Amino acid sequence: MGKILMKGNEAIAEAAIRAGCLNYFGYPITPQSEVAEYLSRRMPEVGGVFLQGESEVAVSYMLFGASACGARVFTTSSSPGISLMGEGISYIAGAQCPAVFVNIMRGGPGLGGILPSQSDYFQATKGGGHGDYRLLVMAPASVQEAVEMIMLAFPLAEKYRNPVMLLGDGLIGQMMEPVEFPDHLNSEPTNKDEWATNGMDTRGSNKRNLVKSLFLDAGKLNEHNLMLKAKYDRMKREEIRYELYNIESDYKTLIVSYGTMSRVCKTAIDNMKDEGLEVGMVRPQTLFPFPEKAIYEAASKESCKIVVSIEMSMGQMVEDVERSVKGKLLVRWYGKCGGDVPTPEEVIEAVKSFNKGA
Amino acid sequence: MGKTFAKPEALSDLHTHYCPGCTHGIIHRLIAEVIDELGIKGRTVGIAPVGCAVLVYNYLTLDFQEAAHGRAPAMATGMKRVRPDLIVFTYQGDGDLASIGMGEIIHAANRGEKFTTIFVNNAVYGMTGGQMAPTTMPGQRTTTSPFGRKVEECGMPIKMAELLSALETPGYITRQSVIKPKYIVRAKKAIKKAFQYQLEGRCFSLVEVISTCPTNWGLTPVQAIKWAEETMLPYYKLGEFKTPD
């Protein structure tokens, strides 16, 4: 199959089907409603399940119920909707069920706006729901990458029995780009008979399965949390993904940026190169686990004097960048968060002004 | 002579954690008997509520999932949509179903989701220690209505069976009780019918069960039965409110 021009939201929907996920529950919210619209037509064609739930809260539990009985399942929403799903996400993580959540971010807080933003970084990587849990968070920078990450998201959710989140800004969902779909995944969720409540007859077993997150005994809950932590630690060892840009140059400034913002930064870096100003970039593709080591190493380069986190938020990822740089260099933030994506010129101006101070 | 009475297979040997005079144990047993009689243990999945009955999975030896407060109908929806061949039931109390989970139950019922809900109404929040529920009777004292439920502030108790029956979508909606043997016999028939409708893929089914909570009512088990009969039953009328036939 060759390249076709497709809107990000629709490409995400189609990619999920190709990843073998034939179950979608959703609730309309701008700027991602095209996913539900597309799947309401497409799921019946492939014999899948499409259901529009009564709220994002209910949808998150529809995912929980479907996942708990061993089905591959996903939903998509945008910032305020993901807040409502936070409760269900916590339960799903606590009960160790695989599920994929897509957040096509819009500006907040509150109703905020409907234009693109990256202001749910904290929500995605630091919590969102209650308790000690983590999501594996992937951040695509193009429609093509969104498709590839969706194909990865389901096997990863099943590998860790944990929710995976695809965190895209509104532009990823709304823009049209050429996209090439990988082959269909043939894998099935593995080992589900060991834990899923798919019925004893289905498993041919007399042993019943329980999907739960309640541990009234302090020692047992602690043990459960230690086991969850071990999974998150394993993600940190095995799942970190990032891209390096212009990293061979003798850059004075290192940018850390992700998603659509990183593409603007690439243009800015190219333009600055033409002017003789070298700037390197680390683009996290996973936000949790975070590429701390890659950033530390890039910041450790002799020529590097300053690190700038450029985000479509009021400075959220910058805290992880600071943590990664470990005080070695000054870390600054530049960004906008009303829905306007900073232009390459604005990025260049910010980098130059930080350079003066460095 | 063969065995004429035995513990249902779907029921475990454990002693329950329920208080003396609590009727959860009776309802658990009725569900277990129905599951045995229908021969569906191997394809049934229960969804436990938040409340005293969260540990129902200790007593019913089936696949079980634990829901968040009020969300069991959404979980059951997810399950039934992806695995229509499984028999799914939610077990929910009145705080769970009639308060925080009102949205989930109404919409699941209105979509005609093919699962069964056992709705235990004892007019109070049990596990959290006896707070007022949407089903608490007028004047009833609870830890959050120490002067009795004031109707002018809190409205009248919600009659869930009647409310759900008002939906146009076909369903099986009934209210039963387990406070007397004669009611128990009828309640079991209703629970069986509810599961049968699900087995036939007919409709959403809900059995509301008027129950007692002596501990949180501040009554002895005997007084609690009397109170339920004299206070709850005249308001919460027993019977079938809706059938899909």
How confident is residue B5, by pLDDT bands cut at 50, 70 and 90?
confident
How distant is the Cα of A109 from the closest Cα of chain B, in angstroms? 25
pLDDT of residue A356: 86
Which structural domains are found in chain B, ordered by start? 24-242 (3.40.50.970)
pLDDT value for A1: 67
Residue B147: CB atoms within 10 Å: 7
| CATH number assigned to the domain comprising residue A126 | 3.40.50.970
Q: Which residues pair with A74 in a beta bridge?
A: A24, A100
Structure confidence at residue A157 (pLDDT): 97
C-alpha distance from residue A272 to each of A63, A264, A329 (Å)? 46, 12, 21
Inter-chain CB proximity A209 and B63 less than 8 Å = yes
pLDDT over 70 percentage in chain B: 100
Residue A35: which of A47, A26, A23 has the closest Cα? Answer: A26
A93 and A122 both lie in a single domain: yes
Q: Return the H-helix or E-strand segment holding A18.
A: helix A8-18
pLDDT (tens digit per residue) in A64-109: 999 999 999 999 999 999 999 999 999 999 999 999 999 999 999 9
Could you give the C-alpha distances from A29 to A79, A111, B190, B239, in angstroms and in order?
Answer: 9, 11, 41, 42
Q: Quick: pLDDT tens for A201-225.
A: 999 999 999 999 999 999 999 999 9
User: Is residue A16 domain-shared with residue A67, that is, in the same domain?
Assistant: yes
Is residue B1's pLDDT more than 80? no
Asked if residue A35 lies in contact with residue A168, where contact means CB atoms within 8 angstroms, the answer is no
Indicate whether A104 and A139 sit together in one domain. Answer: yes
10 Å Cβ neighbour count for A244?
A: 14
pLDDT at B151: 98
A177 shares a domain with A70:
yes
Q: What pLDDT was estimated at residue A303?
A: 97
pLDDT(B75) > 90: yes
Place of tokens 């985000």: A311
pLDDT > 70? residue B174: yes
Q: What is the pLDDT of residue A269?
A: 98
Show which of A238, A270, A305 is a domain's final residue: A238
Number of A/B CB contacts below 8 angstroms equals: 123
Chain segment A130-174, per-residue pLDDT in tens:
999 999 999 999 999 999 999 999 999 999 999 999 999 999 999
Query: For residue B73, what are its two tokens?
Result: 């109908």
CA A172/CA A169 separation, integer angstroms: 6
Q: What is the largest CA-CA distance in chain B?
A: 61
Region A304-326: mean pLDDT is: 98
pLDDT tens digits, A115-131: 999 999 999 999 899 99
**What predicted TM-score, i.e. pTM, was given to this entire model?**
0.97
Task: List the structure tokens of A252.
Answer: 């004075």
Domain hosting residue A272, numbered range: 242-357
Interface of chain B toward chain A, CB-CB under 8 angstroms? 41-45, 47-48, 54, 57, 61-68, 71, 74-79, 81-83, 85-86, 103-104, 107
| Co-location of A73 and A151 in the same domain | yes
Residues near A309 by Cβ (< 8 Å), separated by ≥ 6?
A255, A256, A257, A315, A317, A318, A321, A331, A332, A333, A334, A335
Residue position matching structure tokens 């039931």: B89
pLDDT (0 to 100) of residue A189: 77
Say if CB B108 and CB B73 are below 8 A apart: yes
Quote the DSSP letter at residue A245.
E
B90 → chain A, closest CA residue: A65
Write the CB contacts of B127 (distance below 8 Å, at least 6 apart in sequence): B50, B51, B52, B54
Note whether A40 and A96 are same-domain residues.
yes
Of all residues in chain B, the one with the smallest CA distance to A212 is B66
**Residue pair A20/A27 in contact by the 8 Å Cβ criterion:** no
| DSSP H helices in chain B | 24-38, 72-82, 94, 102-111, 151-154, 160-165, 181-199, 214-217, 221-227
Strands B63-66 and B44-48 turn out to be parallel
A206 & A122 share domain: yes
Please, what is the Cα angle at A135 between A131 and A137, to 5 degrees? 150
Number of domains in chain A: 2
Q: Is there a contact between B66 and A208 if contact means CB atoms under 8 Å apart? A: no
- Chain B residues with beta carbon closer than 8 angstroms to that of A55: 103
Per DSSP, the three-state class of A354 is helix
Contact A199/B42, CB-based, under 8 Å? Answer: yes
Q: Is the pLDDT of residue A255 over 80?
A: yes
A303 and A192 fall within a common domain? no
The whole-number pLDDT of residue A96 equals 98
Residue with tokens 């101006």: A349
Characterize the bridge pairing of strands A74-77 and A4-7. unpaired
Q: What is the reported pLDDT for A256?
A: 98
Of residues A212, A140, A209, A215, the one with CA closest to residue A179: A140
Determine the longest span between alpha carbons in chain A, in angstroms: 72
* Residues A125, A228 within the same domain: yes
Which pLDDT tens digit goes with each residue over A282-293?
A: 999 999 999 999
d(CA B42, CA A205): 8
Segment B49-61, tens digit of pLDDT:
999 999 999 999 9
Q: B190: which 2 tokens?
A: 């209703």
CA distance B71 to B103: 9
Contact B83 A71 (CB under 8 A): yes
Name residues whose C-beta falls within 8 Å of residue A89's C-beta, 6 or more positions apart in sequence.
Answer: A60, A101, A128, A129, A133, A135, A163
User: For strand B204-210 and strand B239-242, is the pairing parallel, antiparallel, or unpaired?
Assistant: unpaired
- Whether complex ipTM tops 0.95: yes
User: Rounded mean pLDDT of A252-277?
Assistant: 98
| pLDDT given for residue B156 in this prediction | 98
Interface probe for B, chosen from A21, A50, A62, A97 (most Cβ of B below 10 Å), is A62
Long-range contacts of A292-295 (CB under 8 A, 24+ apart): A292/A320, A292/A323, A292/A324, A293/A240, A293/A324, A294/A240, A294/A242, A294/A244, A295/A254, A295/A256, A295/A321, A295/A324, A295/A325
Q: What is the mean pLDDT of residues B161-173?
A: 98
Is the model's pLDDT at A350 over the cut of 70? Answer: yes
Domain boundary residue, one of A191, A218, A238: A238
Cα–Cα distance for residue pair A106/A115, rounded to 1 Å: 5
* pLDDT range class, residue A358, cuts 50, 70, 90: low
Q: Cβ A71–B42 below 8 Å, yes or no? A: no
Tell me the shortest Cα–Cα distance from B185 to chain A, in angstroms: 28
Average pLDDT over residues B207-217: 98
Task: Flag if B43 and A200 touch (Cβ within 8 Å).
Answer: yes
Nearest to B82 among A49, A58, A95 (CB): A49
Give the end-to-end CA distance of chain B in Å, rounded to a whole number.
40
Q: pLDDT at position B4, please?
A: 85
**What's the pLDDT score for residue A191?**
86
* Residue A332: pLDDT over 70: yes
Q: How many angstroms separate the CA atoms of A215 and A224, rounded?
A: 8
Query: What is the rounded average pLDDT of the residues B9-37?
Result: 96
Instruction: Please compute, for residue A61, the number of CA atoms within 13 A of its CA located in the half-sphere on the CB side.
Output: 27
Considering CB atoms only, which of B63, B66, B68 is closest to A87?
B68
Contact A55 B65 (CB under 8 A): no
Same domain membership, residue A326 and residue A306 = yes
Q: For residue A69, give the nearest of B42, B62, B79 by CB distance.
A: B79
DSSP assignments along B29-59, one per residue: HHHHHHHHHHT-GGGEEEEE-SSGGGGGGGT
Å from B112 to nearest chain A CA? 13
pLDDT at B188: 98
Residues A232 and A153 in one domain: yes
Chain B residues whose CB is inside 8 A of the A209 CB are 63
Query: Which domain-ending residue is among A186, A210, A238?
Result: A238
Asked if residues B173 and B206 have their Cβ atoms less than 8 Å apart, the reply is yes
* Helices B24-38 & B181-199 angle (0-180, nearest 10): 40
CATH number, residue A302: 3.40.50.920
Contacts of A61 in chain B (CB under 8 A): 67-68, 71, 74-75, 78, 104
pLDDT tens string A180-189: 999 888 787 7
* Confidence at residue B245, expressed as pLDDT on a 0 to 100 scale: 86
The DSSP H or E segment spanning A284 is strand A279-284
Question: Taking CA atoms, what residue in A is nearest to B85?
Answer: A199
Do A180 and A268 share a domain, yes or no?
no
Q: How far is CA B190 from the centre of its chain?
A: 12
Q: How many Å lie between the alpha carbon of A97 and the closest alpha carbon of chain B?
A: 11
Kindly state the tokens that stand for A18.
């190709």
User: Considering only alpha carbons, which residue of chain B is nearest residue A62?
Assistant: B78
Count other Cβ atoms within 10 Å, centred on residue A252: 18
Q: How large is the average pLDDT for residues A18-38?
A: 97
